[in-house]
Amino acid sequence: MSARQNTVVDRWTRVGLAAASGLALAAAFPKFDLNLFAWVAFVPLFFVIERQPLSRVFGYSWLQGFICFAGSLYWIVTTLHNFADVPTALAVLPMLLLAAIMALYTAAAICSGEFIARALAIPAVVTVPITWVAIEWVRT
């Protein structure tokens, strides 16, 4: 396998792991309520962002957040369809837009935590929880 093919495979593997991380985190919340997934959901994402440029850290983190929020905000489609008579296909669009916006918070938290970890030469598992809580505080 050539180096270029290896890079493409590696990139798609990283995308898949970031997506799996988002699905696992979404499954930790109600309707699925597999709350033990919350303890391991970020492991694939931390593997994905290791030694990546910050632009890719932001992208992979955004993808993880988008998939997580798209899975968690499913009720918006049901609400718009049942109570506002919006066709289901059209009701998906505001849900996806909100998931994309909310994913920016996830990307900002992970990327800033990774930036601080690199600047201070400490593990990201120390800095990311702090930046996550800070971003959640700003979000509220």
> Residue 11 belongs to what domain range?
3-139
pLDDT by residue (tens digit) across 20-70? 999 999 999 888 888 889 899 999 999 999 999 999 999 999 999 999 999
Tell me the average pLDDT across 105-111: 97
Angle ∠(10,55,61) on CA atoms, nearest 5 = 70
Residue 3, pLDDT > 90, answer: no
Residue type for position 49: I
| N residues, the chain | 140
Residue type for position 34: L
Number of structural domains (the chain) is 1
Residue 8: band (very low, low, confident or very high) from pLDDT cuts 50, 70, 90: low
